[in-house]
Amino acid sequence: MANGFQRLFLIVCASLCAVVAVAQEEPLEPIVGSDIERRSIKEEKLDRENFEIGVWAGILSIEDFGSSSVTGINLAYHVSEDFFLRASYAVSEANHTSYELLSGAVELLSDEERDYTYYDLSLGYKIFPGQVFIGRNLAFNTHFYLLVGGGNTEFAGNRYSTWSLGAGYKFYASDWFALELGLRDHIFTHELFGQSKRVNNLEAQLGLSIFF
């Protein structure tokens, strides 16, 4: 009887060893498959250069003198990923006031005095960086920004110290080229009508820039 149990025990042990050996040679496949198809997205990277030059055109609303076209140029230096310095220069021309149009003969300013020029230096701060996806495989970098600065405005034969506030949206079409939509407010005080008056000259601009 004992010999029979010993034989049975040896047979069971041998069978278990065989099963373990087969399991080691042929591992079980995982229940969840690891073969996952991943999308390949081409993401444009920003140029490593810190300088940027841009040109723009838009509409400038000169308080009391209507809206006129404006063109300008700027040079920016990106101090960090969040902050940048921007120097701007732009030219425009003021229209006639409502009083001049209604009177028909009164000219408050000469043609030369209607030339409107400003230049300033601003500090910019980038906010809400993100991406715009076109199709499944192409993404472009974007961000909003805020601006605050100061400079001078030459208008009506005088020069006025000017504060400027602004905001904008930038779309990076490549690592060296960007499109930009901006809004700005130029604030200064004049006495063209006999008393001191603070004016807000609003500007909307559309421009492009390159990095170098």
Q: Which residues contact 160 (CB under 8 A, 6 or more apart)?
A: 152, 153, 154, 188, 189, 190
Distance of CA 122 to the CA centre of its chain: 16
Kindly state whether residue 5 falls inside one of the protein's structural domains: no
Beta-carbon contacts of residue 65 (< 8 Å; ≥ 6 apart): 94, 95, 96, 97, 114
Domain membership of residue 22 (yes or no) is no
| Total residues found in the chain within this entry | 212
Range of the domain at 121: 42-211
- Residue 114 is classified by DSSP as T
Tally the domains of the chain.
1
Residue 208 pLDDT: 97
In a domain, 164, yes or no: yes
Distance CA 53, CA 186 (A): 21
User: For residues 122 and 124, what is the distance between their CA atoms, to the nearest angstrom?
Assistant: 6
Output the domain CATH number for residue 137.
2.40.160.20
Per-residue pLDDT of the chain (212 residues; tens, 9 = 90+): 555 655 666 665 666 566 555 555 555 555 555 556 666 655 555 456 799 999 999 999 999 999 999 999 999 999 999 999 999 999 999 988 877 777 666 777 888 999 999 999 999 999 999 999 988 888 999 999 999 999 999 999 999 999 999 999 999 999 899 999 999 999 999 998 889 999 999 999 999 999 99
Question: Would you say 168 and 128 are in contact if contact means Cβ atoms under 8 Å apart?
Answer: no
Cα 76 from chain centre = 13
Q: Confirm whether 25 is domain-assigned.
A: no
Tell me, yes or no, whether 15 lies in a domain.
no
Residues 6+ apart with CB under 8 A from 205: 56, 57, 58, 70, 72, 180, 181, 182, 183, 184
**What pLDDT shows up at residue 151?**
97
**Is 13 inside a domain boundary?**
no
- Residue 75's CB is within 10 A of a number of other CB atoms, namely 14
Pairing, β 197-211 against β 51-61: antiparallel
Helix ranges (H only) for 82-171 are 98-103
Q: In this structure, is residue 99 part of a structural domain?
A: yes
What pLDDT was estimated at residue 193?
84
Pairing of strands 67-78, 51-61: antiparallel
In a domain, 136, yes or no: yes
